[in-house]
Chain A
């Protein structure tokens, strides 16, 4: 039973949500696999749109003809850049596979299997990632295993 004073008090307390501590708030939540899927999907998505801008910039030597483009591509086929490309593939794989999982959950009655689907997407992703590494660095692997 609320007294008149309490009712007046409650009406004065308009709840707004506090954004000042949002990082700490978010980090304090107990995270299970679905939370990780959500935050990693967001992080990989941001990385990929940033990469898209970089990709357009890095292909601009195409406007300057063969010499400029080939020179720039020589830079990008050094081992350092190839490792970066490999990690980019990891980001692409996670975002794509998790995205497929989201579409299955949303549209193909996949909510029943969302956790097994998540585990499956990790397994498929790791297999494809290692396979790509084997393809990209086949020469170096050959040298190391002689």
Chain B
């Protein structure tokens, strides 16, 4: 006889989403690396970032990247903890920390992206 904790929830939805977000993140990562490194300055100067952020669709893609990455990573961390037979209070504590840190850093990322101004194209070239 084993003492065990069971759940009606099989965890299949999060299993599938973990794989789907994983594949999506591979695609995003390839794009991210190319954009950030095709030139040494392309990821490391304010001008380069600013010019990319002028396009709203780019900001939306970037924010989706952040949300997907956060979900995939934090779901992975939660899976590691699920391997250990935590007591209910430990489960609640760990989950709360994961959720709070995840939401806080995602919100921070959003405010960073939103704080980048839309500028007049003339001023980009320094005129």
Which of A's residues lie within 8 Å of B, judged by CB?
Answer: 11, 14-17, 19, 22, 42, 45-46, 48-49, 52-53, 56-57, 59-60, 62-63, 65-66, 69-70, 73, 76-77, 89, 92, 96, 99-100, 102-103, 106-107, 135-136
What's the Cα separation between A53 and B108 when bound, in Å? 10
Taking CB atoms, residues of chain B closer than 8 Å to A96 are 25-26, 29
Main secondary structure, interface of B, reads helix
For A60, give the chain B residue with the smallest CB separation. Answer: B112
Q: Which residues of B contact A99 (CB under 8 A)?
A: 22, 26
* Residues in chain A near residue B66, CB distance under 8 A: 56
Q: Assess the A19–B111 pair: CB atoms within 8 A.
A: no
Q: Which of A14, A22, A77, A103 touches B19 (beta carbons < 8 Å)?
A: A103
Check B23 for interface membership: any CB of A closer than 8 A: yes
| A50, B70: Cα distance in complex, Å | 10
Q: For residues 79 through 122 of chain B, which have their beta carbon under 8 Å from a beta carbon of chain A?
A: 80, 84-85, 101, 105, 108-109, 111-112, 115-116
Asked, given contacts A17-B85, A60-B108, whether A92 binds B69 with beta carbons under 8 Å apart, the answer is no
The digit string for B33-51, where 1 denotes a CB below 8 A from any CB of A, is: 1000100100011110110
Q: What count of chain B residues pass the 8 Å CB interface test?
A: 36
Q: Can you list 26 A-B pairs with a CB-CB distance of less than 8 A?
A: A15-B1, A16-B3, A17-B85, A22-B84, A45-B73, A46-B76, A46-B77, A49-B73, A49-B74, A49-B76, A52-B70, A60-B108, A66-B47, A66-B50, A70-B45, A73-B44, A73-B45, A77-B40, A89-B33, A96-B26, A99-B22, A99-B26, A102-B19, A107-B19, A135-B37, A136-B37
A75: min CB distance to chain B, Å:
10
Whether A45 and B76, one on each chain, are in contact in the complex, defined by CB atoms closer than 8 angstroms, is: yes
B2 within 8 A of A: yes
Out of B1, B44, B45, which one reaches A14, CB within 8 Å? B1
Given contacts A53-B105, A56-B108, A60-B108, contact A19 B85 (CB under 8 A): yes
Complex Cα gap A63–B113 (Å): 8
Nearest to A69 among chain B residues (CB) is B46
Do A63 and B115 form a contact, CB below 8 Å, given A15-B1, A49-B77, A73-B44? yes
Q: How far is the CA of A66 from the CA of B119 in the complex (A)?
A: 13
Instruction: Say whether B23 contacts A56, CB under 8 Å.
Output: no
Report the minimum CB–CB distance from B14 to chain A (whole Å): 14
